[in-house]
A = this chain, B = another copy of it.
Amino acid sequence: MHFDFTDDQREIRRTARELLAARSGFERVRAVAERDDGAYDEALWRELVELGWAGIALPEAVGGQGLGVLELAILLEELGYAVTPSPIFSNAAAGLLIDAAGSDAQREALLPGIASGEQTATVALARDGVAELVPDGDSARWIVLVEEGRAIVCDALAGGLEIAPRATIDPTRRYARVAVGPGALSLELERDVAAGLDRAEVALAAELCGLAERALVLTVAYVKERRQFGTPVGAFQAVSHRAAEMLLETEGARSATWFAAWAADAEPASLARGASLAKAAASDAGRHVTAAAIQLHGGIGFTWEADVHWLYKRAQVDAALLVPAARHRARVARLAVAAAAAPAAAGAAVA
């Protein structure tokens, strides 16, 4: 039992933290957010791709790095921490889903481009063939739409899709509405979608954890400095206890997300429960902690000039993507009932 990162995993974290601090500081995030077209920093994208991060959790056979969902989660937590404008998340989430649910032929056809970052992919839930908000939906080559337990992969170059860029409250990422028209070219992934979707949820949860973590860090620094009534405001329990609650939510979400990522790699039988724990906890933490950060910044936190709102906005969208937290919670309860009804051979893991 070792519930912490290995040295190699720490190294990924350190590299990402340093690179993104240097190349994706808030001034760069702001520059992207304030562009009319919201175009990402091409040079940064190339750099991430060169580090192999587009395919970090994909098998070496398709050009990935052959690392695990856990390593991807570490990376995405850092990308969330930096609110980096980048298609890394959407591409990785779609890659995880295709890797898990695609046939060998489908994986060989689709994954190399995703792993190399040359033909990116994205994923969203659809209803009647329409996905209201697809992250990077206007730049991805492959758009994976999940509806009623089926996943189809649409080729954006092949026509038949209506893809309309759609501005959201989160200007640090590009989004599009995607509707599948009658002439669209798509193929259905042949294997079970659930485990792939769960892996995508873990990726999303990791980004949410990073957003919460950063919101907490900014807030703690601010309330130590900001003085009112002759004392740093962080000394008031109204502030310090709320900050403690932010920590509680953030650390709880990270525990669940790391567990789920580990389970995806090492104990797939625990993935369904883990992914639901992670998404439920991280979408709450992401939304609550970033909202608390605005509140504890006071008036400043409500200004465009302060950076805390980028975190809040991204967290809102992340929490709304894929399956809503309420459904994950209900699922956790039903999984508990099922587990009680059919107690498996006691697992060897901590949870």
A241 at the interface (CB under 8 A from B): yes
- Chain B's nearest CB lies how many Å from the CB of A248? 15
In the bound complex, what is the Cα–Cα distance between A238 and B236 (angstroms)? 9
- Bound-state Cα–Cα, A237 to B241, Å: 9
- Copy count, this protein chain: 2
Chain A, 258-287, CB within 8 A of any chain B CB: none
For A238, the closest partner residue in chain B by CB is B237
Measured CB to CB, the nearest residue on chain B to A236 is B237
Give chain A's interface secondary structure class. helix
Nearest chain-B residue to A241 (Cβ)? B238
Q: What are the residues of chain B within 8 A of A237 when measuring CB–CB?
A: 236-238, 241
- Closest chain B CB from A329 CB (angstroms): 16
In angstroms, Cα B238 to Cα A266, docked, is 43
Give chain B residues whose Cβ lies under 8 Å from the Cβ of A236: 237
A229-260, CB under 8 A of B: which get 1 and which 0? 00000001110010000000000000000000
Residues on B with C-beta less than 8 A from A241 are 237-238
Q: How far is the CB of A78 from chain B (nearest CB, A)?
A: 34
Instruction: For the complex, give the distance between the alpha carbons of A232 and B303 in Å.
Output: 37
Distance (Å) between the CB of A241 and the closest chain B CB?
A: 6
Residues of chain A in range 217-237 having any CB-CB distance to chain B below 8 Å: 236-237
Encode A331-342 as 1/0 by CB contact (under 8 A) with B: 000000000000
**A326 → chain B, closest Cβ, in Å?**
15
How far is B237's CA from A236's CA once the two chains are assembled, in angstroms?
Answer: 7
Neighbouring B residues of A238 by C-beta, 8 Å: 237, 241
**Smallest Cβ distance from A114 to chain B, in angstroms?**
44
Q: What is the CA–CA distance of A238 and B238 in the complex, to the nearest angstrom?
A: 7
- A residues 2-43 touching B (CB-CB < 8 Å): none
CB distance from A319 to the nearest CB of B (A): 23
How far is the CB of A351 from the nearest CB of chain B, in Å? 30
Kindly provide the distance from the CB of A223 to the nearest chain B CB, expressed in whole angstroms.
14
List 5 tightest A-B contacts by C-beta distance, closest first: A237-B237, A237-B238, A236-B237, A238-B241, A237-B241
5 of the cross-chain contacts (CB-CB < 8 Å) are A236-B237, A237-B237, A237-B238, A237-B241, A238-B241
